[in-house]
Chain A
């Protein structure tokens, strides 16, 4: 069955530190997508990235970078030089398969960045 594990429940860092959020997944599919979302205190989900399993290149977007390791079923997210505005809950997600491709979310990692 499809499953997403985010083992880090909460992470606390001081501004300007780098932080990596872990995501490990299980899937029975040979091709699949992986997602990261940010949920600030206001509650809305902010889309960060969608990665196709075909593409194992790491991706960088500003201070954000993602490391996709198919061999270890991991899709980790790194924030470089963290800022207070990065404080949020971050979710990793994977389509659950079936006809509707419902998204299955990990438990989330709550990141607190302190000044």
Chain B
């Protein structure tokens, strides 16, 4: 089955530094990647949608200069949290969709738990 590998699973960083989270589709081409954020005991909130080779589309209220998304290839999308602050601590999870798996075939990564100290 389709697999999305998300790394790192956990990361602790100092305030003011940047952190990069990677999502790789291992056995299919991810034409679209969704990035979600989840606060403790809350639901998944969509941050942005990216298509390979295009600029990401950010949801209202999400700072695009803070959460940089790159989807340079059909198998790799990255989310970089720039100048991280404690309030950016959260669980981030990606979801890939492939056009050849149908419009509603979503594959989720295993998530990244970010702690900013």
What is A's interface to B at a CB cutoff of 8 Å? 33, 35, 37, 42-45, 47, 50, 91, 95-96, 100-108, 110
Please choose the segment from B38-46, B60-68, B80-88 that sits at the chain A interface, where 4 or more of its residues have CB less than 8 A away: B38-46
**Residues of chain B lying within 8 A (CB to CB) of residue A103:** 34, 46, 95, 106
Tell me the interface secondary structure of chain B in the complex: strand
Chain B min CB distance to A104 (Å): 8
Chain A min CB distance to B21 (Å): 13
User: How distant is the Cα of A11 from the Cα of B113 in the complex, in angstroms?
Assistant: 25
Partner of B108, one of A45, A102, A110: A45
**Residues of chain B lying within 8 A (CB to CB) of residue A33:** 104
Contacts A91-B43, A100-B32, A108-B43 given; indicate if A44 touches B108 (C-beta within 8 A). yes
Chain B min CB distance to A1 (Å): 13
Q: Is the CB of B106 within 8 A of A110?
A: no
Partner of B43, one of A42, A47, A100, A107: A107
Q: Is the CB of B46 within 8 A of A102?
A: yes
- Known A43-B111, A100-B57; further 12 A-B contacts with Cβ < 8 A: A44-B111, A45-B111, A47-B106, A100-B32, A100-B34, A100-B49, A100-B51, A101-B103, A101-B104, A105-B43, A105-B44, A106-B43
Task: Indicate if B69 sits at the interface (CB-CB under 8 A).
Answer: no
Task: Indicate if B24 sits at the interface (CB-CB under 8 A).
Answer: no
User: How distant is the Cα of A38 from the Cα of B10 in the complex, in angstroms?
Assistant: 20
Q: Is the CB of B93 within 8 A of A45?
A: yes
Q: Is the CB of A43 within 8 A of B113?
A: yes
Chain A min CB distance to B114 (Å): 12
Task: Indicate if B28 sits at the interface (CB-CB under 8 A).
Answer: no
Q: Is the CB of B34 within 8 A of A102?
A: yes
Task: Indicate if B97 sits at the interface (CB-CB under 8 A).
Answer: yes
Task: Indicate if B115 sits at the interface (CB-CB under 8 A).
Answer: no
Chain A min CB distance to B76 (Å): 18
User: How distant is the Cα of A87 from the Cα of B44 in the complex, in angstroms?
Assistant: 18
User: How distant is the Cα of A47 from the Cα of B105 in the complex, in angstroms?
Assistant: 11
